[in-house]
């Protein structure tokens, strides 16, 4: 940042000018610093303390523990199995969300006005439904004895939550259902902004739809895709409501626990705020690393962001 190679005519300007961006950024930095820096600092601080309900209400003194909370997390075999389940589940959800969202975005550009309006409305409705209500409705649909799905398919008495993978698949479907509209709308806006002449030229050159999508649209949409992917990764990695509601807090024998539900169960429901803060820090670091790696690979492929 500091070693800026100035353009020739810039050399004549006074040095003071390099401070202008900083002044302009300052209000944002102050507000973001207060709104993000403070809670994050507190999170980090709590994660190294013995801070339980008894400490919050002043029944016992707060003690400094160093990294003991972290040692407890990393030493817990359940953490590792929950972490791997979360990563795989989130990855599957991200891929499915993007596939559905991108597919429907392309579809939106190709259909006439009324179907487009209907599809948009349906997607908006899915987007607008609160996660708890949406999950509950899906639960009704897939209820073991009285659900519409089981009755229609004649699968009486089949419990979709009994098998670990069918439970994850069902919850994943709900997560995708909740999050594909954002991807669809964003990409649809992006596709609409692609100059018609480019697509026309591709069509004249005889490119198929498939090829146009991968070789024209995707490169042009790359910045948008980056945002959509990062958003999806963050959302799906942090999934809580759908798992908590649909698997009643982690499924049979905890088979459907994800990191956030596990953290809630281990730490917050039990009043172990220090431990919970440490899990929060671990999750934040994982997300940060994943996001940075993703941005880096994007840069490597030559597209500046």
Partner 1 sequence: MRLRLAAAAALALTLTACTPSTSSPSSAPSDGGARTGTLKVWLFDEPNRAPKEAVVNDAIAEFTAAHPDTKVDLAYIAVDTRSERFKGAFNDPASAPDVVEYGNTDLPEYAAAGGLADLGPAVTAWPEGADLGADARASATYQGTLLGVPWYVGVRALYYRTDVFTELGLKAPTSQAELVEAAHTVRAKKPDLFGVAVGGKYTFGALPFVWDAGGDIASINSAQSRAGLKAYTDLIKPDNCPPQQCADLTGGKTVELFASGKAGMAIIGNFNRAAVDAGAAKGKYAVVPLPGTKPGSIAPAFAGGNNLGIMRNSQRPALAADFLTLLAGKKYQARMYDAMGNLPTLKSARAEVAGKDPFLQPFLATIDAGTKFVPLDPGWGKIDAAAVLPTMIEKVATGKATVEQATDEAATAIDAALGS
Site of interaction with partner 1 (CB under 8 A): 23, 26-27, 30, 33-34, 37-38, 41-42, 45-46, 49, 51, 53-60, 62, 144-145, 157-159, 161-162, 248-255, 265-266, 269-272
Q: Which is nearer to partner 1, 43 or 220 (CB)?
A: 43
Q: Which is nearer to partner 1, 38 or 214 (CB)?
A: 38
What's the longest Cα–Cα distance across the chain? 81
Q: Which is nearer to partner 1, 58 or 302 (CB)?
A: 58
CA gap 72, 237 in Å, rounded: 22
Minimal distance, residue 54 CB to partner 1, in Å? 5
Minimal distance, residue 160 CB to partner 1, in Å? 10
Please identify which residue in the block is written with the tokens 């996001």: 291
CA gap 111, 214 in Å, rounded: 20
Q: Which is nearer to partner 1, 141 or 226 (CB)?
A: 141
**How deeply is 109 buried, as exposed, middle or buried, from its count of CB atoms within 10 A (0-12, 13-18, 19+)?**
middle
Minimal distance, residue 55 CB to partner 1, in Å? 6
Minimal distance, residue 254 CB to partner 1, in Å? 5
In contact, 73 and 275? CB cutoff 8 Å: yes
CA-nearest of 230, 296, 252, 213 to 97 is 230
CA gap 71, 93 in Å, rounded: 30
Q: Which is nearer to partner 1, 5 or 253 (CB)?
A: 253
CA gap 303, 297 in Å, rounded: 10
Minimal distance, residue 81 CB to partner 1, in Å? 12
């Amino acid at each position: 940042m500091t070693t800026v190679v100035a353009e020739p005519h810039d050399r004549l300007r006074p040095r003071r000018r390099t401070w202008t961006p900083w002044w302009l950024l300052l209000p944002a930095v102050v507000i973001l610093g207060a709104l993000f820096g403070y809670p994050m600092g507190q999170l980090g601080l709590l994660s190294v303390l013995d801070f339980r309900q008894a400490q919050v209400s002043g029944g016992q003194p707060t003690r400094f523990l160093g990294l003991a909370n972290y040692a407890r997390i990393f030493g817990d075999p359940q953490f590792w199995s929950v972490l791997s389940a979360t990563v795989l589940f989130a990855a599957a959800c991200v891929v499915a969300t993007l596939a559905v969202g991108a597919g429907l975005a392309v579809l939106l550009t190709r259909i006439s006005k009324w179907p487009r309006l209907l599809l948009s409305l349906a997607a908006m409705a899915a987007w607008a439904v609160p996660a708890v209500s949406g999950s509950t409705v899906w639960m009704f649909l897939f209820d073991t004895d009285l659900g519409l799905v089981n009755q229609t398919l004649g699968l009486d008495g089949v419990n979709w939550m009994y098998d670990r993978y069918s439970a994850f698949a069902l919850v994943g479907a709900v997560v995708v259902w909740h999050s594909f509209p954002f991807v669809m709308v964003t990409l649809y806006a992006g596709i609409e902004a692609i100059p018609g002449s480019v697509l026309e030229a591709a069509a004249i050159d005889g490119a198929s739809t498939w090829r146009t999508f991968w070789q024209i649209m995707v490169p042009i949409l790359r910045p948008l895709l980056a945002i959509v992917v990062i958003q999806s990764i963050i959302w799906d990695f942090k999934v809580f409501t759908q798992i908590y509601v649909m698997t009643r807090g982690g499924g049979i024998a905890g088979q459907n626990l994800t990191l956030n539900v596990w953290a809630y169960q281990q730490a917050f429901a039990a009043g172990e705020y220090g431990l919970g803060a440490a899990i929060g820090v671990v999750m934040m670091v994982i997300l940060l690393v994943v996001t940075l790696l993703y941005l880096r690979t994007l840069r490597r492929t030559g597209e500046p962001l």
